[in-house]
Amino acid sequence: MRPRRSCLAVPGSSVKMLDKAQGLPADQVFLDLEDAVAPLAKPDARKNIVAALNDGDWGGKARVVRVNDLTTPWTYRDVVEVVEGAGANLDCIMLPKVQSAGQIEWLDLTLTQIEKTMGLEVGKIGIEAQIENAAGLVNVDAIAAASQRTETIIFGPADFMASINMKSLVVGALIPGYPGDPYHYILMRILMAARMHDLQAIDGPFLQIRDVAAFREVATRSAALGFDGKWVLHPGQIDAANEVYSPAQEDYDHAELILDAYEHSTSEAGGKLGAVMLGDEMIDEASRKMALVISAKGRAAGMSRTTSFTPPA
């Protein structure tokens, strides 16, 4: 899977921001046709996005376009114009406010028809599904299973909060007067559906864009659960997201040592042992699986080892 520690939102109506985003160190950019674009500006925004995808230098970033949701009159034109115009330079379509598996199936079928018509590789363009209301969360397992194209399940907190009448105006932050994390169940529900189908789980935005410390605090909670990344709405949030959703150097080094030590211990030269000591720690097959997760995140982030494994004498 593509790294998605930082997923930068870029309004398709702003040529200036489309240009600037190309040089920023986000893992993914999503060029927005939905909430960030006024209704009267959507036709021109489609054209801006097609031009930016075809002519821009995105530096290896994952290139995603968020279309409007299927309750609006704009969605089909969004998909057709963007994919016909720039499908060769597009990685995924993001569908917001997904409420049922049928909506993902519609997008899959539409993408297949366009790819065949335009001579594009069928199945190359992925799908990102955004969960933003109670219906979407209740149906998230079916949504995650609806298409082989799906790559991510995303939490959309603002619309979700409104849809369940949550008593807060601060998106993503803890709520005074509630003793726990009001988003824990939602995040875990999305995470379980994503992992059931080998998909990435992405946390939604934090709207207080100048408060990077608060962004980091919120991001740290979903990263601890196992989320792969988070939306960023401002360039100032990118470095924090990239750091939070990458392993600490010490953890990455330790994971690589576990993998090397376990490979050696289970080999002929290592005595074909299923469990072995690494320093003061016993490692076995379960340790290897845990280390693979941290190692994969570190390698995707471009991290380098600072330690090496020496087989015991």
> Residues 37-70: pLDDT tens digits?
999 999 999 999 999 999 999 999 999 999 999 9
Mean pLDDT of 197-202: 98
Mean pLDDT of 83-93: 98
Mean pLDDT of 200-208: 95
Give residue 104's pLDDT: 98
Closest alpha carbon to 29 in 67, 63, 59: 63
Phi and psi at residue 119, to the nearest 5°: 75, 25
Closest alpha carbon to 48 in 14, 95, 76, 79: 14
Output the pTM of the full model.
0.92
| Contact present, 3 and 301 (Cβ < 8 Å) | yes
Give residue 270's pLDDT: 86
Mean pLDDT of 75-87: 98
Sign of CA dihedral 117, 1, 216, 154: positive
Give residue 312's pLDDT: 82
Asked whether residue 172 carries a pLDDT value surpassing 80, the answer given is no
Strand runs labelled E in the chain: 6-11, 28-32, 62-66, 92-95, 126-131, 150-155, 200-203, 229-232, 276-278, 281-283
- List, for residues 279-302, the tens digit of each pLDDT value: 889 989 999 999 999 999 999 888
Pairing of strands 276-278, 92-95: unpaired
Give residue 81's pLDDT: 98
Of all residues in the chain, the percent with pLDDT exceeding 70 is: 100
